[in-house]
Amino acid sequence: MPDRPPLGSAIWAGLGIAALLWPARIAGPVDGAPLDFAVEACVAVAIAVILWLRPRLLRDRVPRALIVLLLLWKAGTALVTVQDGWCLKFVSPVPLYYETRYVPHAWDVRADWRANPPQCSAIMRRGYAVFDEFPIWFYNLPPVDHRTAAIATDRPPLVTLQLFATGFLTAAEAGTFRLAVGEHVSTRVLLDGVWFTHEQATAGIAVGSGTHRLAIEGDLRESRWALRPLWNDRDVFSASIATTAPAGAVDVALRPAGRYVPLLLVSAFLGYGVWSVLARTRSAIAVTFVVASASALMALPSTGSLAIMRVGTLVLLVGALLPWPLRLKNGFGASLLLGVPFMALFVALGLSQVGRVTLYSSGDDWWMFQRYAYRIYLQGYWLEGGQATFWFQPLYRWIAGALHLVFGDSSVGELWWDAACAAVGAFFTFEITRRIAGFRWAITFAAITLTIFTLGPAWYLFGRGLSELSSMGLIYAGALAASRARRGSLPAAFTTAICCGLAFYTRLNNLPMVLAISAFAFPTAQPVIDVWKPRAWLRRASRPTIAAVVGGSMLAMWLFTWRTWYYTGAIDMLYGTQAADRAVWKPEHSLLEGLGEVMGSLLMVISMNDPPVFDVRALPIAGGIACALAGIIGVGPLRRLPLNASVLLLSGLTGAVVARGSAYPGRFSLHIIPAAVAVFGCGLYLVVSAWRRSSSPLLDSARQGTTSGGVSGETNERARNSATP
């Protein structure tokens, strides 16, 4: 991270997240989970980015006071007000999923999401103008037999769905209540015990002042759906008081002004955060570059050209050419100059998904992860997770479910989560390269890492709902935390252990790479050639860091094995997984066939293509691997490559020797990209520096004695530039 946050900041960050996501009783622009409006979704991402840039912000009194005030407001209103919105229940004419039956849940934490069956599938706090704005994520669940794929007749437009909305309408004065509906929607309204037909409800019903009990029944056919309740032709949820229970005097007094209280508090927090970032930056060049590059990348999705959008990250390479002040030549500067524009691209890319349902392709891994997430969070199978043994990779289903609880039926949370994981990988590339080659090289190769993610064949995995980007992000978060733990930080050691366990659970075949994080118990200055001199690197090892990596990984493996035994009686960690099915070496293979399979599996990972083909986009990966191997055998200046990054990179290849993945091109290369680009960047720098020294004897003599620990420290100025304040 750009700054080193103390434990207290982490606690306040947790309180801030709780305050932001706590569903408010009074609906407003920023009213908590689910984040189903563009404004509140973007606010959440902006706060996350600010806290990444300036975690020390949470040491200040003003942000802490704002967090406390927001918590008190939501707690207080939860005690004295009723829930804004109406109870919305869907009833399917056919069973959905096993144990869901006819009344499904939506991903709405404001409803009774833990009840089975629910009385409210969701809380309706807005009108629905089009089909995919309805909270009907559950159409990803059919059929009842979860082992078979859905067919066309399981989903709209070939199904009919019943809708029931119940609640209360409180009007300060008389007016007209009306429903604006779609072509394929028929309704009737019960108002104060009197039924009104579809024609009457859509034409308008005269309503007196006061509080009125209301119910809407509807049939949703085909796919041209809309249901917008209106009060005097304005949205009923903003033009009047629409609640799940009768509104009292306190409710009337607090509305509508109360809906803006969270917005004001959150806006004040954001303003303070932006001011803190600008005060830390103090560079017109940096601010101009960040604003310009972020604006350019945010505009790319509007072009409608996927090619232009993917190429757009090349603009980040410009950052290496500009003159940056010394105070920005560190992790904070890299996060600002690269991370902010990169996240801006994906925020813009995902805006159209906010508050809209994604219907997944049926029968693939993506679809299965989503169904398992539903079974965990909305049906309560927290340990089982949908399978007695994990044929599909374990952890991502829990990640996907958590993101749905935050963002509702939309999959935008998965898109932004994947982008954040890619940013963590690029930050790792920056940190390693900076310590060897300096800031400009580090910015260049961190930008190359991000460009490979967007230009590479695995681009489609962003937001796809698979586990590779998550595992990659957790691995490199663990490596970064291990580097901090090596310097004596107990919170960092604890974070390392957690990241190692979670990275293993996310993709089991990445276990060798997870264990290789222990190499970050050694300083980056430890040269890779010292791999042959155990005394040289063991002497500098941080034992607490090794304990954190090994302990966290071993505990995760033990818990995984215990769970397998609990459900199957088999004391075998890999029982029921794809380990045997995906094994490279099979009993029927001859030695030559086995070696051929191993080579094909390795080349698939290195080339990012299946079957392996030459791909210019994979050159930094192949170059990084070649540099690491050359450094280990002592080839020229490459022997001074960092031991920790080289070990992490090569360990990422060991999984390909044991098991070969299939389908989804590029997915099995993601975990090595940041380490490979970092090693390649360091190797290129060392080679160029050695060539320059050999071609300039005068320069060579002037730089004698500037190399320490086997790593090039070219000048005092470069050393100062690469130091983190």
pLDDT attached to residue 724: 38
- When mean pLDDT is compared across 59-68, 638-647, 655-664, the lowest value belongs to 655-664
Spatial distance between the Cα atoms of 445 and 317, rounded to a whole number of angstroms = 8
**Count of positions (residues) in the chain:** 725
Residue 456, CA distances (Å) to 310, 313, 423, 475, 675 in order:
9, 12, 15, 20, 16
Beta-carbon contacts of 128 under 8 Å, excluding residues fewer than 6 positions away, are 134, 225, 226, 227, 228
CB 545 within 8 A of CB 499: no
pLDDT attached to residue 212: 94
pLDDT attached to residue 527: 92
pLDDT confidence bin for 585, thresholds 50/70/90: confident
Q: Where are the domains of the chain?
A: 7-81+258-269, 86-247, 591-721
**Please, which residues bridge with residue 212 across strands?**
169
Q: Amino acid letter at 724?
A: T
Angle at 346 between CA 40 and CA 396, to 5 degrees: 85
pLDDT confidence bin for 431, thresholds 50/70/90: very high
- Is the pLDDT confidence value at 652 over 90? yes
Supply the CATH classification number for the domain 86-247.
Answer: 2.60.120
Q: What is the mean pLDDT of the chain?
A: 89
Helix (H) or strand (E) holding 680: helix 673-695
Cα radius of gyration (the chain): 28
pLDDT attached to residue 2: 55
Tell me the two tokens of residue 496: 């390392």
Spatial distance between the Cα atoms of 391 and 377, rounded to a whole number of angstroms = 20
pLDDT attached to residue 705: 43
pLDDT attached to residue 712: 42
Beta-carbon contacts of 249 under 8 Å, excluding residues fewer than 6 positions away, are none
- Is the pLDDT confidence value at 575 over 80? yes
Could you count the other beta carbons within 10 Å of the beta carbon of residue 565?
14
Classified as helix, coil or strand, 292 is helix
Beta-carbon contacts of 469 under 8 Å, excluding residues fewer than 6 positions away, are 417, 418, 421, 422, 461, 462, 670
Higher pLDDT, 667 or 536: 667
Residue where the block lists tokens 């040269």: 527
**Please, which residues bridge with residue 504 across strands?**
none
Spatial distance between the Cα atoms of 427 and 139, rounded to a whole number of angstroms = 38
Q: How far apart are the first and last CA of the chain?
A: 12
Spatial distance between the Cα atoms of 476 and 434, rounded to a whole number of angstroms = 16
pLDDT attached to residue 720: 37
**What backbone phi and psi angles, to 5 degrees, belong to 327?**
-70, -15
- When mean pLDDT is compared across 177-181, 186-190, 481-485, 701-705, the lowest value belongs to 701-705
Q: What is the DSSP letter of 301?
A: G
pLDDT confidence bin for 699, thresholds 50/70/90: very low
Higher pLDDT, 471 or 709: 471
Classified as helix, coil or strand, 305 is coil
Closest CA to 393 of 143, 550, 548, 582: 582
pLDDT attached to residue 94: 81
- When mean pLDDT is compared across 1-10, 161-170, 346-355, 589-598, the lowest value belongs to 1-10
**Please, which residues bridge with residue 708 across strands?**
711
Classified as helix, coil or strand, 234 is strand
Tell me the two tokens of residue 460: 């489609």
Higher pLDDT, 581 or 16: 16
pLDDT confidence bin for 7, thresholds 50/70/90: low
The predicted model gives 315-344 an average pLDDT of 93
Spatial distance between the Cα atoms of 649 and 640, rounded to a whole number of angstroms = 16
Closest CA to 432 of 628, 586, 254, 279: 628
pLDDT confidence bin for 702, thresholds 50/70/90: very low
The predicted model gives 670-693 an average pLDDT of 94
pLDDT confidence bin for 154, thresholds 50/70/90: confident
pLDDT per position as a tens digit, 483-516 = 999 988 888 999 999 999 999 999 998 999 999 9
- Is the pLDDT confidence value at 725 over 60? no
pLDDT per position as a tens digit, 362-413 = 878 888 899 899 999 998 899 999 888 898 889 999 999 999 999 999 999 9
pLDDT confidence bin for 601, thresholds 50/70/90: confident
pLDDT confidence bin for 685, thresholds 50/70/90: very high
